[in-house]
Chains A and B, each alone.
Chain A
Amino acid sequence: MTRAWSLALVGSLVAGAAVAQTVPDGSPALQVPSAYRRGPQFRIDPFRHTAVPQWGFVIEGGGIAGNNALNLSDIGALIVLADSDAVLTSDLLNAVALVPAGNAAVGDGQAEGGLYVGGPFGEHVSVGITAQGRAYGSYVVDRDAVAMLREGNSVRQTFDVGQTTGTGLGTGELGVHALVRLEPIGSQDGARLSVGFGGRYIEPLAYGREETTLRDDVPILVSGDSIAAHVDLHAEYTPDVEFGRGSGYAVDVLVRVEWPTSGLYLEALATNLGKVTVDGVERSTLAFSVATTDLGEVVDSLDTADFIVQDTTSVSVSLPRVLRFSAGAWANRYLQLDASASLPIGGDFDVPVAVDLWSTWRFMPILPIRLGLVLGGTGGIGYTAGLGVETRHFYLGMLGGSFGGLFKDATGVAGRFELGVFF
């Protein structure tokens, strides 16, 4: 089987030049330059520019972040109150009340920015080099811990802290990705299979993680007459941001099948399959233990509790691995529809399942307008929009998203800017 694939790959490198011309001129796919046939994406997509079959240079930056409680106005309100030193108990209780009932408080975000240089080697192979900075972050405050404040302690008096964690990682990365476009399968206008693979060398710049655990699995007791909590907070962090504190590698794999005649594609992407070893991580623990009938003693205990550095060590961090399935269709020359589902497949970051739906309108082929929806994620239903300039030599992409509501009511945002020049 391996040999058959190898033969097919070699064959495609030699004979591929004539293949594109076999697609009927009226087919929907050909109404769109092949450089931009891949769907728009806020999310990490290491093959995004490698898929462009021209040599070029792209500068890009983007990110997506969301939470399930506070919208932008809420955050602005907290900033105003904090700046005025006017945060009251009622404000905090109201803020906690914004966490959906029965849910944990969750949030996550990813951002990247960098440069891309690459282009095709022949008709079938494209290679791209990226130099990027990335940041990943997520937090989960277990629903039990939220409920302690949100729901009061009249109904229940014992609370867990569950998986209350927060993790952040900043990296500098250098990656090489290649995309191989194979021969049409079956007939000349049959499906076209593209296979991408690549790797990234990663240097961690900063890392931090905090995790809360219950000692001996004894839940927190907050009753009307006593409070008992034996909680350990474990923290791991690098004291500053710098290069040279470790390394790691990640692998990205893409498989794409496109039916140009029909104007359809299916795609599977696995990205961030790797780990990073972060050196010089200080591990510290804060042990909070109180059993009292006196609420004030809890406050005193919190005041006196402090992290104690246990040691400095190396930590292996799994990147947020994602498996993304995408599908798209060119209904006609004006409209392209894309859908993708991003599924977390492990890692040290809590990334939720998200479904992105996009529609790209090309009333003017070089000025696509994009509208879409985001389902899932931490921010709720999102509304997305974008504009682009897509020509043979120039590419500009701008995307924006508002989750959980529009604009100031958004509990999450996304944005992306891409500027490229092709030759």
Chain B
Amino acid sequence: MRTTPTCATAAIALVLVHAACEPSSITDARNQLGRSAADTVRYLLPLARDTFDVSDLELTGDTVIGDLLAVSLASETVRFPVADDLRIDNAVVASLLVSFPPEAFQVPGGTPLDTVVSYAGLVDEPRLQGIDSLRTRSGTLRVATSNRLVESVAYTVTLNGLRDAAGVTLSGSGVLPPAPGDGSYVTDVLTFDLAGVTIVPASADFSLDLSMVVSGSALNEPNAANAVLQQSVADFAVEWLSGPLDPQATPELSQAVEGHAEIPPSSVDALGKFQDVIRDVTIETAVGALRFQNGAAAPVELTGFELGVVELTPAGTVPRDPVTGAPIYETDEFGNPLVVPVPGPGQSLVIGRLAEATVSVAMAPLVDRMVHLLLDGHRAAVVGGGTAAAGDGQPSYLRWDDSVAVEVDVVVGLDVTVPPAGVAYPPQNEVNEGLDLKPEDVADVLDNLLVQATASAEVHNATPYELEVVIAYVEGDFGETDVTMLPGVVVLPAVRVAAPAVSADGRVVTPVVDTVEVAVSPSDVEPLLKAAYTTTVKVRLFAGDGANGRAALGVDDRAIVKATVVADVKRGGAQ
């Protein structure tokens, strides 16, 4: 209670003050508060701030090529079988001539005559000289045995060195019909199925067992020499082969190879929002990292190997020349196929046994076409082809299903040539909350406070492009909708910012900052005073003059757009 005098004094004072000093009306009250000298104060109100940064491109798998920003597309693997067509046709089997001494027929009729003759069957086939053993997938061996004796001759052929799947030596028997005796031959043919037959060329010791009964005819004596003739020929597809394989000795070890892999449309997802830009530009830098994986236990040398891109047919097949059967590659503006020699023009690539080899090749035109095909909704495939030769004269093993897999990693550098008309960067939206003033406050600001307002846009251009920036805003929350065409929108005049100086390869030397200010009406400021407003910033890229329209997007390149409303607000100066 000791505070009573204090409180009472204060209360009395307040009552007196209130009574004596209270204005008689709201207008008087406002005038009272505005008693200070007339003045203006400048407030900067944020309108938009967008950084067109690398991160805004929403790139995935982003990487660098040097200091150039790049995007790694999804990798694809193309398989190239190197022995699927490996077959040896017209394999030369040694010929056999069997002669009898004339006196062998100077015996009484009915005398049996038997003989066995052996010979090295495959010694005359040079293509098998570097092969220790092989197994056939299919094929035949035709053994033609001819007789010019007047007696029929029973015979058995035993093909030592050729075993069937059960390990049994191939053999066959037949009967040679009697010949007329005029020196001409009659022939009987035994055909051996070579499917699953293992051949050891060095052990191919064929034998011919002849058995007949001498008739006593004098016609045999002049035909005793070379009485029986055996000739064979073999054609077979190889399941596997081993030995000191040498394509020089066995040309069949060199095969034309071809493979393709469709590039899924999702590959370009890695480009993020930059897809829209890429549509209108030409990619100037792209690198293919090719990883060759040799699945064969034989070295493979690729020669004349090329990678190209094709637009697949609606059925998903590689389009081919109806005459040559060659893939119809995409072509450049001069009609030349867009192919990339790997590892380089006139160079071959050797991949060791069960080994890998990596090659990096520049393939910008090819990738540019591939990306554009995909962005335009077409199906595209990478096609590779050339000649694969297996073996190097050293012990090797090769199966029919052995292949070389090529994993293609395409890295697209954001190094592009912009067309003269420029390209539009995807619009960026910001939904901002305004000052959310009450309606009477909005009217107060517009009618009483606001002296003048300007919109200021500052563009910090550290991209290699010339930029044209358009800023528009409208009251309300329109999410990601481009507001530039909405009713009531305020569109600020476009800001054109020159491209920074770039080096010969399109890299930014010094960023450029430019600012533009335009007067805006009070009604243009009104959206900022409301609960929310949506800003759309549109940027169009134009090539600078420094590198013939070419511009490379570096890791640190970015454009920063800052838009501000500058409001001059009056205060004081009440009448």
Partners in one complex: yes
Chain A 79-93: CB-based contact to B (< 8 A → 1; otherwise 0): 111001010111101
A78-B33, A89-B449 known; A154 and B42 CB under 8 Å? yes
Complex interface: chain B residues within 8 A of A152 (CB):
41-44, 569
Chain B, interface size: which category?
Answer: 35 or more
Complex interface: chain A residues within 8 A of B20 (CB):
72, 407-408
Contact A59 B32 (CB under 8 A): no
Roughly how many angstroms separate A77 CA and B49 CA in the complex, as a whole number? 40
B138 within 8 A of A: no
Roughly how many angstroms separate A88 CA and B439 CA in the complex, as a whole number? 10
Contact B21 A72 (CB under 8 A): yes
Roughly how many angstroms separate A60 CA and B33 CA in the complex, as a whole number? 35
A76-B32, A94-B572, A97-B572 known; A296 and B46 CB under 8 Å? no
Chain B 23-50: CB-based contact to A (< 8 A → 1; otherwise 0): 1011011101111100101111110110
| Contact stretch, chosen from A1-9, A14-22, A132-140 | A132-140
Among B5, B10, B39, B440, point to the contact of A88 (Cβ < 8 A).
B440
A133-B6, A135-B6, A408-B20 known; A296 and B532 CB under 8 Å? yes
Roughly how many angstroms separate A225 CA and B471 CA in the complex, as a whole number? 14
Among A155, A225, A413, point to the contact of B17 (Cβ < 8 A).
A413
**Most chain A CB within a 10 A radius of its CB, from B21, B49, B449, B456:** B21
Roughly how many angstroms separate A74 CA and B445 CA in the complex, as a whole number? 21
CB A130 to nearest CB in B, in angstroms, measures 10
Among B7, B33, B432, B532, point to the contact of A94 (Cβ < 8 A).
B33
A311 within 8 A of B: no
Q: Total contacts A to B, CB within 8 angstroms? A: 197
Which A residue sits closest to B443, measured CB to CB? A88
CB B101 to nearest CB in A, in angstroms, measures 113
Which A residue sits closest to B8, measured CB to CB? A61
Contact A113 B13 (CB under 8 A): no
Complex interface: chain B residues within 8 A of A89 (CB):
437, 441, 444-445, 449
Contact A224 B562 (CB under 8 A): yes
A90-B445, A224-B456, A294-B46 known; A131 and B21 CB under 8 Å? no
CB B505 to nearest CB in A, in angstroms, measures 33
B433 within 8 A of A: yes
Chain A 335-351: CB-based contact to B (< 8 A → 1; otherwise 0): 00000000000000000
A293 within 8 A of B: yes
Complex interface: chain B residues within 8 A of A223 (CB):
44, 46
Mostly helix, strand, loop or mixed at chain A's interface? mixed
A61-B5, A89-B445 known; A293 and B17 CB under 8 Å? no
Complex interface: chain B residues within 8 A of A415 (CB):
9, 13
Contact A225 B433 (CB under 8 A): no
Complex interface: chain A residues within 8 A of B32 (CB):
73-74, 76-77
Contact B33 A74 (CB under 8 A): yes
B566 within 8 A of A: yes
Roughly how many angstroms separate A346 CA and B25 CA in the complex, as a whole number? 44
Chain B 435-473: CB-based contact to A (< 8 A → 1; otherwise 0): 111001100110011000000100000000000000000
A185 within 8 A of B: no
Complex interface: chain B residues within 8 A of A407 (CB):
20-21
A95 within 8 A of B: yes
Chain A 145-156: CB-based contact to B (< 8 A → 1; otherwise 0): 000001111110
Which A residue sits closest to B431, measured CB to CB? A294
Complex interface: chain A residues within 8 A of B49 (CB):
225-226, 293
Among A97, A134, A205, point to the contact of B39 (Cβ < 8 A).
A97
| Interface members, chain A 117-175 (any B CB < 8 Å) | 131-135, 150-155, 157, 170, 172-173
Which B residue sits closest to A62, measured CB to CB? B9
Complex interface: chain A residues within 8 A of B137 (CB):
none
Complex interface: chain B residues within 8 A of A60 (CB):
5
Complex interface: chain B residues within 8 A of A78 (CB):
29, 33
Which A residue sits closest to B456, measured CB to CB? A224
Contact B433 A77 (CB under 8 A): no
Contact B2 A224 (CB under 8 A): no
Chain B 521-564: CB-based contact to A (< 8 A → 1; otherwise 0): 00000000001100000000000000000000000000000111
Roughly how many angstroms separate A80 CA and B6 CA in the complex, as a whole number? 26
Roughly how many angstroms separate A151 CA and B569 CA in the complex, as a whole number? 10
A366 within 8 A of B: no
Contact B18 A76 (CB under 8 A): yes
Roughly how many angstroms separate A296 CA and B563 CA in the complex, as a whole number? 16
Roughly how many angstroms separate A333 CA and B46 CA in the complex, as a whole number? 70
Roughly how many angstroms separate A151 CA and B30 CA in the complex, as a whole number? 20
Complex interface: chain A residues within 8 A of B28 (CB):
77, 80
A258 within 8 A of B: no
Among B6, B45, B436, point to the contact of A134 (Cβ < 8 A).
B6
Roughly how many angstroms separate A63 CA and B10 CA in the complex, as a whole number? 8
A299 within 8 A of B: yes
**Most chain A CB within a 10 A radius of its CB, from B17, B531, B572:** B17
Roughly how many angstroms separate A81 CA and B9 CA in the complex, as a whole number? 26
Contact B4 A133 (CB under 8 A): yes
Complex interface: chain A residues within 8 A of B26 (CB):
80-81, 84, 86
CB A266 to nearest CB in B, in angstroms, measures 31
CB A186 to nearest CB in B, in angstroms, measures 43
A300 within 8 A of B: yes
CB B507 to nearest CB in A, in angstroms, measures 28
CB B383 to nearest CB in A, in angstroms, measures 50
A422 within 8 A of B: no
A55 within 8 A of B: no
Contact A113 B4 (CB under 8 A): yes
Complex interface: chain A residues within 8 A of B29 (CB):
76-78, 80-81, 91
Complex interface: chain A residues within 8 A of B432 (CB):
293-296
Complex interface: chain A residues within 8 A of B10 (CB):
63, 111
Contact A90 B562 (CB under 8 A): no
Among A113, A154, A408, point to the contact of B21 (Cβ < 8 A).
A408
B324 within 8 A of A: no
Complex interface: chain B residues within 8 A of A226 (CB):
46, 49
A10 within 8 A of B: no
A114 within 8 A of B: yes
Contact B449 A93 (CB under 8 A): yes
B571 within 8 A of A: yes
Contact B30 A299 (CB under 8 A): no
Roughly how many angstroms separate A79 CA and B15 CA in the complex, as a whole number? 12
B3 within 8 A of A: yes
Contact A88 B441 (CB under 8 A): yes
Which B residue sits closest to A111, measured CB to CB? B6
Which A residue sits closest to B46, measured CB to CB? A225
Roughly how many angstroms separate A154 CA and B562 CA in the complex, as a whole number? 15
B22 within 8 A of A: yes
| Interface members, chain B 363-421 (any A CB < 8 Å) | none
Roughly how many angstroms separate A129 CA and B241 CA in the complex, as a whole number? 124
Contact A97 B36 (CB under 8 A): yes
Roughly how many angstroms separate A202 CA and B409 CA in the complex, as a whole number? 84
Among B36, B440, B564, point to the contact of A225 (Cβ < 8 A).
B564
CB A68 to nearest CB in B, in angstroms, measures 13
Complex interface: chain A residues within 8 A of B7 (CB):
113, 133
Roughly how many angstroms separate A94 CA and B564 CA in the complex, as a whole number? 24
Complex interface: chain B residues within 8 A of A300 (CB):
433
Can you list 5 A-B contacts (CB < 8 A)?
A89-B437, A94-B36, A97-B41, A225-B563, A417-B9
Given contacts A60-B5, A293-B432, 17 further A-B contacts (CB under 8 A): A61-B8, A74-B33, A77-B30, A79-B22, A81-B33, A84-B26, A89-B441, A95-B33, A111-B10, A224-B46, A225-B46, A293-B48, A293-B49, A295-B45, A296-B433, A299-B435, A408-B21
Which A-B residue pairs are the 8 nearest by beta carbons? A296-B433, A113-B5, A133-B3, A224-B44, A224-B564, A113-B6, A154-B42, A61-B5
